[in-house]
């Protein structure tokens, strides 16, 4: 006994056009790597790495770029304050070892 099954499958897939989160009338080309919002060419922002080169494969929106830059500034200031504190402690320790008063160094 032979059974033949003839299946005809039709898949209707409609590809929706993805639009920019900030400009709904424009097509999106990439999405923000942090918040995952789709962005048009005008909304795409790039950060620079330490050497000053733009990281062209990493795209951010303007809100995420502002947050990242603010965080970089805060971390830089914390690092600067930490470095100044360490240098002050080293200088104070060295002057105490040499038995020199800190005020005597700047006496005119």
Q: What is the pLDDT of residues 39-85, one digit of tens each?
A: 999 999 888 776 667 666 788 999 999 998 899 899 999 999 999 99
User: In the predicted model, is pLDDT for residue 90 greater than 60?
Assistant: yes
C-alpha–C-alpha distance, residues 81 and 98, integer Å: 26
> pTM score, two decimals?
0.60
Using one digit for the tens of pLDDT, what is the confidence trace for 1-42? Answer: 566 666 665 555 555 678 999 999 999 988 999 999 999 999
User: In the predicted model, is pLDDT for residue 105 greater than 70?
Assistant: no
Higher model confidence: residue 94 or residue 6?
A: 94
C-alpha–C-alpha distance, residues 41 and 29, integer Å: 7
What is the C-alpha R_g of the chain?
A: 30
């Amino acid at each position: 006994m032979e059974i033949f099954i003839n299946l005809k499958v039709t898949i209707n897939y409609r590809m929706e056009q993805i639009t920019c989160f900030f400009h709904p009338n424009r097509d999106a080309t990439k999405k923000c790597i942090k918040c995952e919002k789709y962005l048009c060419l005008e909304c795409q922002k790039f950060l620079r790495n330490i050497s000053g080169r733009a990281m062209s494969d990493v795209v951010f929106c303007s809100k995420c770029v502002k947050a990242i830059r603010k965080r970089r500034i805060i971390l830089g200031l914390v690092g600067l304050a930490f470095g100044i504190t360490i240098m002050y402690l080293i200088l104070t320790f060295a002057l105490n070892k040499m038995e020199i008063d800190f005020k005597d160094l700047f006496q005119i």
